[in-house]
Amino acid sequence: MKILVLNSGSSSLKYQVIDMETEKMLAKGYFERIGQPNSFLTHKVNGKAHKFEHPAKNHEKAIAFVLNRLTNDNYGVLKNLDELGGIGHRVVHGGEKFSDSVIITKEVIEEIKKCSDLAPLHNPACILGIEACQKIVPDMKMVAVFDTAFHQTIAKEKYMYPIPYKYYEKYAIRKYGFHGTSHQYVSTRVAEIMGKDRKNLKIVNCHLGQGCSVCAIQGGKSVETSMGLTPLRRHPYGK
């Protein structure tokens, strides 16, 4: 089975096609400047990068062009879209609702929208990607994978802030944690490389990229992390 993985930004789109039987990445790409007149796609397949200058006024146009490249005789890795078993969407903020990946439904989309105040630069863009896929491939099964889900095992005394409880009740202010997909994957690989069961390990994991966080993992579960309420650098309710 082949899976398309999408990471939608406000003006960008990253993607990979994975063959789940071999766990091999077949293609990857990055669509930049969506909504601008100079938008372009960098599409990589068989170790070679191809650049396409293509006008994409929105995510729907960008995703449609990406799917066209993926099924193209010269640049594609799929004979047709029927080869795809599903589409996975990276979602930054799942709030308290989601502790695992889920099949995307209308209800799931509404919950993602509810978390947009906590990740205003990320969740709305993700919704654009999901809704674009629903229009282009309406019968395709889609899954939401949340950055916050892995951290839902953190104890309440650690995720609650020492502020009046009414702010948690009214604004959902608490520690959520981020980069969960990275922390979960890296801790799993650490255990594999060490030849040990992750359930028997205590791991301090560092995610270093455009955003950085540290996570304490015990028995395969997140027990503490350095990031809190939002992936933004400032408080979403502040000035």
Give kind and range of the element (H or E) at residue 135: helix 123-136
Q: What is the C-alpha to C-alpha distance for residues 75 and 47, in angstroms, rounded to an integer?
A: 11
The residues that are catalytic are: 147
State both tokens at 87. 């589409």
Residue 148's contacts (CB-CB under 8 Å, 6 or more residues apart) are 92, 93, 94, 95, 98, 176, 177, 178, 180
Cα-flanking dihedrals φ and ψ of residue 164, to 5°? -50, 135
**CA distances for 18 relative to 70, 86, 102, 141, 221, angstroms:** 12, 11, 19, 16, 26
State both tokens at 208. 């270093």
